[in-house]
A and B are shown apart, each in its own frame.
Chain A
């Protein structure tokens, strides 16, 4: 049996998009994934990190057998996603952030029971697990509430329970904490980690154990950093880097990373700062009082040149701090801009 829970080889996906009314016959091509090579081991919590439109959801759709790749191959639990989807499906499950699956007229328990039946769980066992899981995510008191009456956060917790209920070998979580408040997101992250860390025994004696694997997509850097064993940074359909978060951050260990809060920038752009030879990357974000600059400098001494440029533009420094590299910095280093900037400008 393959040691990998998920394996992709030069995986690619091109969408054909219809043109406008006048150009109906013309089909444009959108490259959503290109030459993706990943090997995710059993028992691993693997993160896909990238901005909206980077190709994360497309990759998940291919792996859960909902979308065919246009090039390359992908295997889940050792089975090919195109040739053997029927062997993959009993072994996997998926939860997406903000999904509205199920039926509003059914209660939380009834919705979950229904989905458990599609995987062949005995009703009694399903109900026992539903109760247990709802207690674990803290919404057992909502078991008999109609799902249409749930808030976004509670609904997402119900969706998360749906994913874990069938005890998949490989679980795909696509932005699972989208729309959840800080506390609920923390609860979900803790729950995910706990689920992975306890490998269950298969039914019947002497049948060994199968380690659970989880593929998580997120655009929350902190979530990826806190949870994932390994992270792949993906942008415009390509995997730019793939390693342990600590190793990825080590790439920038020799650089000096500064965070500067300033008064309004008076027309100063990130490009102006990057034109300084000692500035490797600069990203800007507007704040209530002015702006926040994230700078990756070749060495600490380069800060003087930055301060000089700021003072020439009459920009006041309100706060300056040096910090350790984060995955956000790794992303900026690889892509050239922060994820927040890319999503604001709609650049994918």
Chain B
């Protein structure tokens, strides 16, 4: 071993918003870079949802459903990737971070845990975006889906708000799942399939009874997909659940509710976990 300058020098450290930003970027990094390192994941994350898309498209074609439905399914397939990411890589993540020993290190460092969650969300969103784009491109090419964007800026706003609300929900449930411990697994499993039905991944949400559709609107993807379908398919507005304007407003409200909820639940979780000693991995 040799001696180094680090022994005699204190490094400068930033605080405040700069530290917040550094934390977001640092925590997003493993998610984005992980995608590059394990290319096999990319294959499974694209091919498997695409398989589901193909199955639904073939069913719709066999029963002679309107042509737009093929587009709905392709879009639903792409959005599935985000839902899976939120469910397995956001909601359950703090529990895994705890078992890995990372959670304790995150909490005892001077950064904000909201920054860690935001980094997780941002990294997950970026990594999943690539998969979603690949599914849309492949699905559209395979089934010659026709798009006619009615209003690009509204479409962009819907997508951004839907993503912000969806990942906000993931940030909020992350604290909840952590407190539930191993039950998080069951909750994720429980949430996976029924949500496909309730949020209309593969069919217009308007097909569901009004109150069921309204209840399902708490999942940001429900209204997000409905609004996007209205904006990119020529006859989309005919099968819209609510008007795009209303859906945009609800998505904005969901964003606020979930992000504020995430902050409050996170503070509660940290307080409770410190009191009860639940922050470190089970084996310690």
A residues with a Cβ closer than 8 A to B are 15-16, 57, 61, 64-68, 86, 89-90, 92-94, 96, 99-103, 105-106, 110, 113-115, 117-122, 125-126, 129, 132-133, 135-138, 146, 164, 166-167, 187, 190-191, 194-195, 198, 200-203
Contact = CB atoms under 8 A, between A and B. Distances in A.
A237 to B, nearest CB: 14
Interface in B77-107: 100-102, 104-107
A64 to B, nearest CB: 5
Interface bracket on B? 35 or more
Given A86-B110, A135-B4, A167 B10 contact: yes
6 contacts: A96-B284, A105-B37, A118-B111, A119-B110, A119-B111, A122-B12
Nearest to A123: B22
Contacts of B29: 106, 110, 114
A135 B274 CA distance: 36
Interface stretch (B13-21, B142-150, B196-204): B13-21
Contacts of B284: 57, 96
Given A66-B104, A200-B10, A203-B10, A89 B109 contact: yes
Contact of A194 (B3, B25, B37): B3
A120 B18 CA distance: 8
A66 B33 contact: no
B109 A200 contact: no
Contact of A89 (B2, B5, B34, B110): B110
B282 interface: no
Interface string B14-52: 110011001101110110011001100000000000000
A201 B11 CA distance: 10
A57 B283 CA distance: 12
A114 B27 CA distance: 7
Nearest to B115: A118
A292 B2 CA distance: 40
Interface string B99-134: 011101111111100001000000000000000000
A101 B276 CA distance: 22
Contacts of B280: 61, 66
Contact of A65 (B9, B111, B274): B274
Contacts of A113: 26
Contacts of B15: 90, 120
A195 B6 CA distance: 9
A66 B7 contact: no
B7 A114 contact: no
B108 A201 contact: no
A46 B277 CA distance: 24
B279 A167 contact: no
A117 B25 contact: yes
Nearest to B5: A132
Contacts of B11: 121-122, 125-126, 129, 166-167, 203
The secondary-structure label for the interface of chain A is mixed
B8 interface: yes
B1 interface: yes
Given A102-B102, A200-B8, 12 more contacts: A64-B108, A90-B15, A90-B110, A106-B33, A114-B29, A118-B116, A120-B14, A120-B110, A136-B1, A164-B6, A201-B8, A203-B10
Contact of A167 (B6, B104, B277): B6
A151 B12 CA distance: 32
B269 to A, nearest CB: 13
B238 interface: no
Given A110-B29, A137-B1, A118 B12 contact: no
B105 to A, nearest CB: 6
Contacts of B5: 132
Contact of B277 (A65, A67, A96, A202): A67
A105 B22 contact: no
B186 interface: no
B26 A94 contact: no
Nearest to B104: A66
B178 to A, nearest CB: 14
B4 A136 contact: yes
B26 A89 contact: no
Contacts of B13: 90, 119-121, 166
A203 B23 contact: no
Given A57-B284, A61-B280, A136-B4, A66 B108 contact: yes
A105 B33 contact: yes
Rank and list the top 3 A-B pairs by shortest CB-CB distance, nearest first.
Answer: A117-B26, A120-B13, A90-B110
Contacts of A146: 37
A103 B276 CA distance: 27
Contacts of B6: 129, 132-133, 164, 167
A219 B198 CA distance: 56
Given A105-B38, A120-B19, A132 B4 contact: yes
Contacts of B38: 105
A106 B108 contact: no
Contacts of B100: 100-101
A238 to B, nearest CB: 19
A66 B108 CA distance: 7
Contact of B22 (A110, A117, A137): A117
B91 to A, nearest CB: 18
B106 A118 contact: yes
A173 to B, nearest CB: 14
